[in-house]
Amino acid sequence: MSVLLSPISVPSRLALMAAVALASITPSVATAQPPLAASSAPGQLAVRGQVVGAAGHGIATASVTLSDPNGRTETGVTGADGRFSVTVPGAGRYTVLVRAVGFTPVTVELVARAGSADLRIALQAQRQLAPVQVLGATGHSSTLHPGADALLGAVSVLAGNQIARENVAFSQELLRKVPGVYRAEFNQGIVSGDIGIRGFNTESEIASTKLLIDGIPSNLNSGVSEMNAIFPLEIARMDVVRGTNDPRFGLFNLAGNVSIETAQPRGTFVTSRLQGGSFGTQEAQVLGGVERGGFSQTIFAGARRSDGYRDNSASDKWTASGKWFYTSDSARVRVGLIARAHRLDTDAPGYLTEAQSRATPTFSPVFSNSDGGSVESDHASVHLDVRQTSTLAWSLKAYSQRFDRIRFVRFTAAGAQQERIEDERQTGAIANVTWRPVRFAAQQLVFTGGADVQQQQNEQFRYRTTERTRQLALRDYDFSLDNSGAFVQASAAPTSWLTLTAGVRADRLDGEFVNNLPTVTTTPVLDYGTITQPKVSAGVRLHERLSAYANYGRGFQIGSGIAAYGRTPLRASVNNGGELGIVSEPLRGWTLRAGYWEQRASDEVRLRFDNSGDSENVGRTKRTGVDVESTLRLPRSVQLWVAATSQRAVLVEPGRTNSAIAGNLLNHVPGWTAKYGAEWSPKVGLTLSGWAYAQGRYQITPQNDRRTWGDMHTVNTDVSWRWRAAAVGVGVTNLLNRYMEYVWWDGAQTLHSPASGRALFLTLTLDR
């Protein structure tokens, strides 16, 4: 293991130049920053205030947590009159999270200064204990419409102050901390890995998880998400919905969805983060903004290079983005533009035999020397949010984006190298409206609806190559896919103990497919008709500290690429899912959620791994599981959390031709996952944290006739010290240096891709 802090690459220099430019912003005007908090002692500030209910009475024993931009926290508890005092290291920006049993949590942003007025924070009575787990300090979604945290189901929110300090090569790795999510570590260049939820595997065989970035769909036609274009410092929060009860999205929303909100304007600020560490890792990120009057600008630049854990696995990437928004004086209208460019160039170390992986896990076989690839993605979107009245709000989004991916891959010495090209252009428009009738305000009646049109124009090419020199054309596809959909939903709390939600979504698909090899043939999209997806949920408050919930929903799935077209139907797969669960706060500071879930699919569609690009119906499947999640907040700024999932994915009825595998487990689905962690701030400015991820074994073939693989257990730690506007962090991933790997079966042998060993990272964060 080595730690390297040397002169960095050209993309990194570009990011640092952007950092210097942003650092030149003089934060002389901060009119949009809230006027806030508190009196001071030498070198510290005591943030004081009162937490009250709707009638103005003080709320006792409420927890008040202040978090700085890097996630370092200080916590206090209100007294009998609702008053509190929390000491923080010094002046600066903080997020204040207030929680009390029986009340909806509230988050406010503040700029702490000596001599400011006391805070007064009002909480609203909570009719249901929401089944939402939050890691870190975050508020409600910034959108005008009900978001993931309003759903009665398994929802996890990963806060920006948790995300910003994670040591990851690709942002998709952040999801390893989210309950119920598991990730395959392919470690093959631009194919770094993929995630699984609710018993769906990580092999990219089934497009099962929807990704949205600032409300814009960000999946490729195959379902692969382009999350890795976003660096951690730019992410404000991530919402992960598991299950089928979310009506907002259709295509790819089969096991659930992931929504990323990037940083919003919050006054004039600059935050920069420099990192160096093992395997020649060097990273620079800078996020800054200016807000004057109604205009705001937020700029991000980031670059990362690494030699990689294994031989022939070096990578260079950079991202630059900007947000420009105008908010009217009345705050009723907000309009803006978001633009982003991302580039990634990487080598790929290839796969090893079992013997090679055990003897020399960092080795890359000679036949993989020229493997690797590149990704180019560009995005532009316009956003309009309007609060028409105090009860009616609507929004419009329109976007254009492109994804270009080139991969050179050779799986074995006996096989030939291929060049695989995906060139996708996507455009679309999304409209949403929310109405809260005044007449039924006491019943919390909310109507929400939306419509969207998403268009893809895709090209796919494959060539047989030798050392990246083309020898033979294998694939030349040109196809379009248009998806139009709409949904409506109504939710209400007709009594003080009951909440009901009902909705329905409908989707239609159109397009045509052109195959240019060996001769030009054109095929229309399959006639799927209108695909209807009902959704219902209910929540019951059984006690002040105990609620129960239930939901049902339907999702759908079609084949990707050539499989969505033809005259011989490949039926759409309909997936019906449901969940029963409880949410409890047995004691102050202790939250608990437990749930049983089930998803049944008819005519499940799976990609064929025969190099044809086609898919097949594999039959009826059943996925079941149990989730348990718990968080405990103790005195002296100690927090403990744990989440575990036990799951089983079975091929119930494969059809007559494959009857021998009826009842088999689906491949590459771990039998269980577990995550747990702890955080402690023994003194002001110092934070120690650690967390672990573990998973069980999985089958590697549909026949279940090989050994099981894939079990892992990795422990990660982080120690950070903040002094005024600077923070220094030391992080270690895979602290115990456990061997972990991804394994698949190529028809003759197992092929292995070892995951990274122990790694050390040093981080410096500066705020202005």
Q: Say which DSSP state 518 is in.
A: S
Q: How far apart are CA 750 and CA 761, in angstroms?
A: 33
Q: How far apart are CA 15 and CA 302, in angstroms?
A: 5
Residue 132: name the closest of 108, 103, 158 by CA. 158
Please work out, in degrees rounded to the nearest 5, the angle formed at the alpha carbon of residue 452 by the alpha carbons of 217 and 402: 35
Domain-located, residue 234? no
Q: What is the pLDDT of residue 73?
A: 73
> Are 183 and 193 a contacting pair, CB within 8 Å?
yes
* Cα 414 versus chain centre, distance: 38
Helix (H, G, I), strand (E, B) or coil at 172: helix
The two three-digit tokens of residue 491, written as one number:
């939710």
CATH number of the domain at 82, please.
2.60.40.1120
Q: How far apart are CA 191 and CA 228, in angstroms?
A: 11
Domain-located, residue 184? no
- In Å, the largest CA–CA distance within the chain is 80
Q: How far apart are CA 137 and CA 637, in angstroms?
A: 13
Q: What is the pLDDT of residue 561?
A: 86
Torsion from C-alpha of 627, 135, 169, 184, nearest 10 degrees: 0
- Per 3-state DSSP, the chain is made up of helix, strand and coil in percentages (nearest 5) of 10, 60, 35
- Torsion sign across C-alpha atoms 55, 58, 61, 65: positive
Q: What is the pLDDT of residue 28?
A: 34
Domain-located, residue 228? no
Q: How far apart are CA 429 and CA 664, in angstroms?
A: 42
Residue 227: name the closest of 178, 269, 290 by CA. 178
Q: How far apart are CA 191 and CA 186, in angstroms?
A: 7
> Are 498 and 537 a contacting pair, CB within 8 Å?
no
Q: How far apart are CA 709 and CA 722, in angstroms?
A: 42
Domain-located, residue 611? yes
> 3-state SS string over 19-47?
HHHHHCCCCCCCCCCCECCEEEECCEEEE
Phi-psi sector, 555: left (phi>0), alpha (psi -120 to 50), beta: beta
Residue 649: name the closest of 45, 198, 215, 222 by CA. 198
Q: Count CA atoms within 13 Å of residue 317 on its CB side.
A: 25
Chosen domain end from 78, 97, 126: 126
CATH number of the domain at 663, please.
2.40.170.20
Chosen domain end from 86, 107, 126: 126
Q: How far apart are CA 13 and CA 23, in angstroms?
A: 15
Domain-located, residue 10? no
Regarding pTM above 0.85, the answer is yes
Q: What is the pLDDT of residue 348?
A: 97
Task: Give 641-645 contacts, CB < 8 A, sequence gap 24+.
Answer: 641/135, 641/676, 641/677, 641/678, 642/674, 642/675, 642/676, 642/677, 643/133, 643/179, 643/180, 643/674, 643/675, 643/676, 644/179, 644/672, 644/673, 644/674, 644/675, 645/179, 645/180, 645/672, 645/673, 645/674
Domain-located, residue 224? no
- Residue keyed to tokens 């695989």: 420
Which residues in the chain land under pLDDT 50? 1-41
> Are 363 and 391 a contacting pair, CB within 8 Å?
no
Non-local (6+) Cβ contacts of 450 within 8 A are 145, 248, 430, 431, 432, 433, 486, 487
> Are 741 and 261 a contacting pair, CB within 8 Å?
no
Residue 626: CB atoms within 10 A of its CB come to: 15
Chosen domain end from 65, 91, 126: 126
Residue 43: CB atoms within 10 A of its CB come to: 10
Q: What is the pLDDT of residue 140?
A: 55
pLDDT digits (tens, 9 = 90+) for 689-724: 999 999 999 999 999 999 999 999 999 999 999 887
Non-local (6+) Cβ contacts of 747 within 8 A are none
End-to-end CA distance of the chain: 34
Domain-located, residue 270? yes
Q: What is the pLDDT of residue 667?
A: 93
> Which string of b and e fits 463-481 if b means at least 16 CB within 10 Å?
bebeeeeeeeebbbbbbbb
Q: How far apart are CA 55 and CA 71, in angstroms?
A: 33
Q: How far apart are CA 590 and CA 380, in angstroms?
A: 43
> 3-state SS string over 591-643?
EEEEEEEEEEEEEEEEECCCCCCCEEEEEEEEEEEEEEEEEEEECCCEEEEEE
> Which string of b and e fits 213-223 if b means at least 16 CB within 10 Å?
bbbbbbbbbbb
Q: Count CA atoms within 13 Å of residue 676 on its CB side.
A: 10
- Residue keyed to tokens 């004691």: 587
The two three-digit tokens of residue 661, written as one number:
């595998």
Exposure of 594 by Cβ count < 10 A (0-12 exposed, 13-18 middle, 19+ buried)?
middle
> Which string of b and e fits 308-317 if b means at least 16 CB within 10 Å?
bbbbbbbbbb
Helix (H, G, I), strand (E, B) or coil at 575: strand
Non-local (6+) Cβ contacts of 87 within 8 A are 41, 44, 45, 46, 47, 74, 684
Domain-located, residue 137? no
Number of independent structural domains in the chain? 2
- Residue keyed to tokens 């956003």: 383
Going through 348-468 in order, the beta strands assigned E by DSSP cover 372-387, 392-409, 417-435, 446-466
Domain around 82 = 40-126
